[in-house]
A and B are shown apart, each in its own frame.
Chain A
Amino acid sequence: MAKILPKKDVVIIGLGWTGSIMANELTDEGLEVMAIERGPWRDAPTDFPPDYMQDELRYRVRHELFLRPDQLTFSFRNRIDQTALPIRSWGAFMPPNGVGGGGVHWNGEMWRFLPSDFVLKTHLTERYGAAFLPEDMTIQDWGITYDELEPFYDRFEYLCGTSGTAGNLRGRIMEGGNPFEGSRSRPYPTPAQAQPFSHTLFGKAARELGYKPFPQPSGNLSQAYTNPHGLRMGPCTYCGFCEWFGCSNYSKASPQTTILPYLVRKPNFSARDHSEVTRINVDKSGRRATGVTFVDSSNVEWEQPADLVILAAYTMFNVHLLLHSQIGKPYDPIANTGVVGRNYTHQTISSVNGFFDNKKYNFNPFIGSGSIGMCIDEFNGDNFDHGPHGFVGGGYMGQVQTGARPIESTLVPPGTPKWGAAWKTAVKENYLSTVKPGTGVHGSFYAYRDIYLDLDPTYSDRFGRPLMRITMDLKENEVKQNKFLTDKFAEIIKTMGADKLAIQYRTAPYDISTYQTTHLNGGAIMGTDPTTSALNRYLQSWDVSNLFVLGASAFPQNAGYNPTLTVGALAYWAAAAIRDKYLKNPGRLVDA
């Protein structure tokens, strides 16, 4: 039998980005908050100190900071008529594990979505007509607008100290920033990072081609910053061990650097690490959560009762826990009913490597940071006319020199042998003069009727529960989008002066063994209609009103940007709804 703990006002499942934000907001409200985290407590001095954090083999190749598949994994297939097989070691994405969640080892690329992204279905239908969209595409509006979210984007940016150049300040287009961004109420808290050589070349080439390049908004800080909680961050040293790694410098925005030292001192906050929530408990009516059940590392099963349950376990584990707890109707793609598992999406990315004359170019490519960058946004969202191209969606693209760590970044021009003397010479001659963009093309991924999550009939986890099954493929719309964007990107790299290009388009089938960002979205989406969304516009479960589900699982489809700034802004938005509305009158915030 589970041991029953004293009741709390709030229990939070997962202490990553959104769990930390919500814990901080609700403790400010005076509530007793308990956060339960599956992985260890992590911090710079113990887990990624400057004397051994620069270890490409350990952190990048062997994924030291990530979840181990034997603890929990997923099964995968491309199509409904195939048998799904388990992901035995990570490839397409890397699920976080431990306090700070993905915030520990993310790049820190901090993008706002476009105003039109939030009303995507309406916008595209009005501009191109419903018949322009593929028949099986299930995109929908979010139920929230950019203007409603703007103050919360601003809060998250000021929490993190984000470095960037404003492009649209209160409606005024600003030189040097992203002219396509939605109107922002304040400039970035800190100026953009310094740009290495390859970035300035990219900017110059982009301008020559008629684009308006700007520095990528970055959570790797250009200068020292003290955030609204009084926490101090240091300037990024461009160490080049950023994404996949933790920052020893307190320069990368993370729950550790921006929230936790402040939160942990509050007497009404407590947390448990190494404790995995296995179920959200509901009462007999099925409409009220009573708390959660979790298992700690000594195999003891506990029950933590609470009045309010916050699910903040990252997209995949949010959906997985909803399915196992039987909250919300599971999605059935054949009958086209149910909501949990519906509209699952990823990111459509690709890249182009440029090989330059080593007598003329030296990029010192090891100097970099996770989210430094020079980008253009001309081909994102609906910033260009899709009419002639026959697809919808788009993405940003840019040169992001994240630090050319040598196991992954010793590239050779196309046509070079993969081994032997010729390979060795080519590696030697090209390392310093190759442009290898961190992400390159960062495209949207729209939703489809037969791309979804459900429970696997064959494979189970260490508790004997069915694994969650991913059915995912790349559709013609995304493949066309990627071809179009990648060709534009290649043109810029060529204009920079590259002699040879290695162009890698994203093509079908979706491959679970190649990394394509850890930007997984959907499966428990927000919306205005309970038959097509699991959550209302405040991220409150339609079915269980004292359950809020944070994270990108709420995205109805994915835009051509990284998700986390929007994920964090939505967490602040949901927190405001709980503080201003829900606590005064607990119950459904929106009538269905």
Chain B
Amino acid sequence: MDKNRDDRLRFHRRELLVGAAYLTLGMSKAHATMIVGHLPWTPNAGNPPTAALPGPWMFFTGEEGRAIEALADCIIPPDPQTPGGKDSGSAIFIDRQLAGPYGRQEGLYVRPPFMKGTRSQGHQSEQGPAQEYREGLAALDRSCKARFEGKAFAMLSDSDKDAVLKGLECGEFTLDGADGKAFFAMVIRDVQMGFFADPIYGGNRDMAGWKMIGYPGSRYNYLDWVNRHNERFPLPPVSMTGRAEWTPQTR
């Protein structure tokens, strides 16, 4: 038992050095500190969110961008009161997410071996979201071109687009080189996420999604309202950066 213990510890120490090298790559900002006598606190030392910058695609190619914008408008079609997924920025939202830490699977456990598990064992693919979008969008356009006389998804008529997406959803329209059903489920989730996330991330432009449902945004105090039952909250939404009316020069 004791001999065993010693062997384990020796083995452990060697591995520890390897692990330590890995740590340097992973955590650059963090610094271990010693805390004594008072709360460690420096003014304005926070870590505010990184805003999505306007401008051209950062992750998508032009072709992919057209496809994702078309998808965004099918998932959230424009109507007279509220813009659709494209004009409210869901495609930009997804692009900026995929170009950032999320797309790179930053912080996730990506060590091999990759094996196919049961459904209840969760996502096990080696591919991150960026790769899944790249392959999924390419496969979607390939399959559409094969089926609709060389037309990419974005070029299809509205009714053909809907038919393709309904087919993907129920598994009848399959993609060559991607799991169409899982891919479309991911796009639905992300387009809708962009529509309801804070506008700082590029979607939900002018808080269109929040206005549509009556969500007041990042207000912080409802003390006066918790006891007002079954009465509509009257104030318009605010985002983390405030309201356009408050800071006209930024718009």
A419 to B72, CA, bound (A): 10
What is the distance, in angstroms, from B180's C-beta to the closest C-beta of chain A? 14
Residue B64, interface by CB 8 Å: no
Q: Which of B37, B109, B192, B220 contacts A86 (CB 8 A)?
A: B109
Q: Which residue of B lies closest to A372 (CB)?
A: B226
A41 & B111 in contact (Cβ 8 Å cutoff): no
Q: Which residue of B lies closest to A363 (CB)?
A: B230
Residue B45, interface by CB 8 Å: yes
A45 to B44, CA, bound (A): 8
Q: Total A-B residue pairs with C-beta atoms closer than 8 Å?
A: 273
B210 & A297 in contact (Cβ 8 Å cutoff): no
Q: Mark A67-87, 1 if CB is under 8 A from B, else 0.
A: 011110100111000110111
A465 & B107 in contact (Cβ 8 Å cutoff): no
Residue B147, interface by CB 8 Å: no
Interface segment, one of A142-150, A333-341, A508-516, A575-583: A508-516
Chain B interface category by residue count:
35 or more
A238 to B223, CA, bound (A): 7
Q: Which of B206-229 contact A (CB under 8 A)?
A: 209-210, 212-223, 225-229
Known contacts A88-B123, A237-B223, A407-B196, A421 near B218 by CB under 8 Å: no
A52 & B48 in contact (Cβ 8 Å cutoff): yes
Q: Which of B30, B122, B227, B233 contacts A194 (CB 8 A)?
A: B227
What is the distance, in angstroms, from B231's C-beta to the closest C-beta of chain A? 7
Residues of B within 8 A of A62 (CB): 102
A512 to B121, CA, bound (A): 6
Residues of A within 8 A of B8 (CB): 326
Q: Which of A269, A424, A459 contacts B82 (CB 8 A)?
A: A424
Residues of B within 8 A of A465 (CB): 12, 15, 19
Among B38, B111, B225, chain A packs the most CB atoms within 10 A around the CB of: B111
Residue B31, interface by CB 8 Å: yes
B108 & A461 in contact (Cβ 8 Å cutoff): no
Q: Mark A227-267, 1 if CB is under 8 A from B, else 0.
A: 00000000101111100000011000000000011001101
A45 & B109 in contact (Cβ 8 Å cutoff): no
What is the distance, in angstroms, from B78's C-beta to the closest C-beta of chain A? 9
A50 & B220 in contact (Cβ 8 Å cutoff): yes
Residue A553, interface by CB 8 Å: no
B118 & A509 in contact (Cβ 8 Å cutoff): yes
A512 & B226 in contact (Cβ 8 Å cutoff): no
Residue B169, interface by CB 8 Å: yes
Residues of B within 8 A of A458 (CB): 113
Known contacts A50-B220, A267-B37, A419-B165, A464 near B121 by CB under 8 Å: no
Known contacts A43-B39, A239-B222, A78 near B102 by CB under 8 Å: no
B23 & A299 in contact (Cβ 8 Å cutoff): yes
What is the distance, in angstroms, from A65's C-beta to the closest C-beta of chain B? 11
A78 & B118 in contact (Cβ 8 Å cutoff): yes
A364 & B233 in contact (Cβ 8 Å cutoff): yes
A275 to B33, CA, bound (A): 9
B196 & A406 in contact (Cβ 8 Å cutoff): yes
What is the distance, in angstroms, from A13's C-beta to the closest C-beta of chain B? 15
Residues of A within 8 A of B165 (CB): 419
B115 & A83 in contact (Cβ 8 Å cutoff): yes
What is the distance, in angstroms, from B193's C-beta to the closest C-beta of chain A? 5
B16 & A511 in contact (Cβ 8 Å cutoff): no
Residues of A within 8 A of B227 (CB): 194
A424 & B30 in contact (Cβ 8 Å cutoff): no
A201 to B26, CA, bound (A): 50
Residue A3, interface by CB 8 Å: no
Residue A279, interface by CB 8 Å: yes
B197 & A407 in contact (Cβ 8 Å cutoff): yes
B220 & A248 in contact (Cβ 8 Å cutoff): yes
A85 to B125, CA, bound (A): 11
A117 to B128, CA, bound (A): 44
What is the distance, in angstroms, from A311's C-beta to the closest C-beta of chain B? 18
Residues of B within 8 A of A585 (CB): none
Among A40, A57, A265, A363, chain B packs the most CB atoms within 10 A around the CB of: A57
Residues of A within 8 A of B79 (CB): 421, 424
Residues of A within 8 A of B119 (CB): 511
Residue B36, interface by CB 8 Å: yes
Please, could you name 11 A-B residue pairs with CB atoms under 8 Å apart, sorted by A?
Answer: A47-B46, A49-B46, A54-B198, A55-B240, A71-B27, A85-B117, A270-B34, A272-B35, A298-B31, A326-B5, A407-B196
Additional A-B contacts beyond A56-B198, A88-B123 (11; CB < 8 A): A43-B39, A46-B46, A52-B46, A57-B198, A70-B110, A272-B34, A297-B30, A362-B231, A420-B162, A427-B213, A461-B19
Interface residues of B (CB under 8 A from A): 1-2, 5, 8-9, 12, 14-16, 18-24, 26-27, 30-43, 45-49, 74-77, 79, 82, 102, 107-111, 113, 115, 117-124, 162, 165, 169, 188, 191-193, 196-198, 201, 209-210, 212-223, 225-233, 240
The 8 closest A-B pairs by CB, nearest first: A464-B15, A463-B19, A54-B218, A68-B107, A296-B32, A299-B20, A431-B213, A197-B229
